[in-house]
Amino acid sequence: MRTIVVGDIHGCYTELVKLLEKVQLTAADCLISLGDIVDRGPDSVKVYDLLKNRPNTIVLMGNHERKHLRQTLSYSQEIVRLQFGERYHEFLNWVSTLPYYHELEAAILVHAAVESDIPMAQQREEVLCGCIADEKYLERRYGQIYWSHSYTGAKPVIVGHHVVGDSPLITTQKIYGIDTGACHGGNLTAVILPGFEIVQVRSPKDYWREEIAKWQLPVMQAKPWDSYQWDKIKAMCEEYQGAPYSDLSVFMAQKRQWMNNLLSLAPIAIRQVEAKLADLITQYGADGFKKQAHDLPYATLLDQANAGQLTPELLQKILSTPDQWLQMMRILLPADQLGAIQSSPIQSSRGEG
């Protein structure tokens, strides 16, 4: 029985299928992925389905899978979340079951690194899968010497994680680095055990470069705009003002206008609060109104208005997100005053307009 060990796939489904054809994979062969099966390439969902559903297949935890699991999402993970859609939670549940290493008679398999003086069962998970914090840990431990040059274990180690060029990087027949940059236009590499035969398939182009441009607008549209702080919305609009992709530039201009439309309600809302304050004082007196106002949803605003401190700037600090802002505006303002804003095609937090 053979074991086929595949390096970082990163959503390169076509290359994976070609590679498995090239190695003439059979049902008796054990297929092992070193992790990072998703992100950056065009077909993460297809890669997931193939590996998850094939019997006699093991997928190790890579740093990209761990990012999804921990929900520390950068741009490439946000893309994959959109690609999975309603199946994303299914994917997360599956990721939570992935092992961090696999040991064979011929070799030890991990995504990123191994400390040779520590038993495999006691290795740091962050080191095995290549988290940024533990790459710094390895730097502190080994200094300027890369961990692989200090490896003294009895078995060879096959790893991915770091792109080593178009060909595997083999260190004294002990470390086999087989991330050869498939998603960047390099090769997808497999090692066939027990003979350590190298097989590769070339990617026709830099998929990640294409994906960066392709997903700019959908990722922005999917962001939870209603829950962002005003300062964050302003900063994002400024960052992408005049973006090279016209549809993204238009969308961000719409988001800026949506924000400005909401904030333009501040003077009207303040006048409403002041009017309600005046009514309460008339009914209950300057001292007695506070007891009556205590349970009102805008009690804090009444207190600030009574102190003469309720300004548009302070209102933005108190109601610091569009969600909070709209919730209060629906209480304070008549429906017709909110109608124009709420019927705007750019109002939705998901950016469907």
Residues 141-165: pLDDT tens digits? 887 778 888 888 999 999 999 999 9
d(CA 52, CA 169): 28
User: How crowded is the C-beta side of 347, counted as CA atoms within 13 Å?
Assistant: 14
- In Å, the largest CA–CA distance within the chain is 91
Domains of the chain (ranges; CATH) run 3-209 (3.60.21.10), 217-353 (no CATH)
Angle at 95 between CA 97 and CA 23, to 5 degrees: 95
pLDDT exceeds cutoff 70 at 341:
no
Question: Range with the lowest mean pLDDT among 10-19, 102-111, 189-198, 343-352?
Answer: 343-352
What is the C-alpha separation between 238 and 247, in angstroms, rounded? 16
Q: Band the pLDDT of 79: cuts 50, 70, 90.
A: very high
List pLDDT tens digits, range 25-35: 999 999 999 99
Q: What is the mean pLDDT of the chain?
A: 92
Per DSSP bridges, beta strands 3-6 and 30-33 are: parallel
Model pTM? 0.87
Q: Which of 6, 12, 10 is nearest to 29 (CA)?
A: 6
Residue type, 208: W
DSSP 37-96: -SSSSS-HHHHHHHHHHSSSEEEPPPHHHHHHHHT---HHHHHHHHHHGGGHHHHHHHHT
Question: How sure is the predictor about 352, in pLDDT bands with cuts at 50, 70 and 90?
Answer: very low
Amino acid letter, 26: T
